Amino acid sequence: MTDWKTRQMIKASGWPHDPVTLAPGTDFNAPQADGLVPLHWAVQSGKPGLLAYLLAHGADVNAQPPGGHGLLAWALATKNFQAVMLLIDQLKATAAPLPDEALQKRLTQAFAGGHTNAKNRLQQTLRDWQRISKGG
């Protein structure tokens, strides 16, 4: 069971099911009865608060959605910087493979016109991820 504050955050995110369905210990990569996958919904909807909650409670960012779409590409489509960075940080922490050059370029371009700190953070994070993926 989730606490009151967490239930309110889940409700405010627009999650279309009862907040109880997102209790800690739930498999957030498993579909609900109607087929909706909590992690995929949070990413595609650009909901960084809910995404952070799911990641903190065991959602697996390495379990890619069907259809060949990656979670990072879905997050990028929302243009939500926080959601993108949450995913990148989690992917980096799990030693996931670096995104291909095309996706890296799209990420950089998507946030190039934003705040300088955001742009710099993204670029540094991608460089760190590249260094980690090379074993250095």
pLDDT band at 134 (very low <50, low <70, confident <90, very high): confident
* Region class of 81: left (phi > 0), else alpha (psi between -120 and 50), else beta: alpha
Range of the domain at 22: 4-133
Q: What is d(CA 88, CA 122) in angstroms, rounded to the nearest whole number?
A: 9
Q: What pTM was estimated for this model as a whole?
A: 0.87
| Total structural domains within the chain | 1
Q: What is the CATH number of the domain that holds 92?
A: 1.25.40.20
Could you give the C-alpha distances from 109 to 70, 79, 105, in angstroms and in order? 18, 11, 6
Q: What is the pLDDT of residues 55-104, one digit of tens each?
A: 999 999 988 776 656 899 999 999 999 999 999 999 999 888 889 999 99
Q: What is the pLDDT of residues 118-132, one digit of tens each?
A: 889 999 999 999 998
Q: What is d(CA 83, CA 27) in angstroms, rounded to the nearest whole number?
A: 20
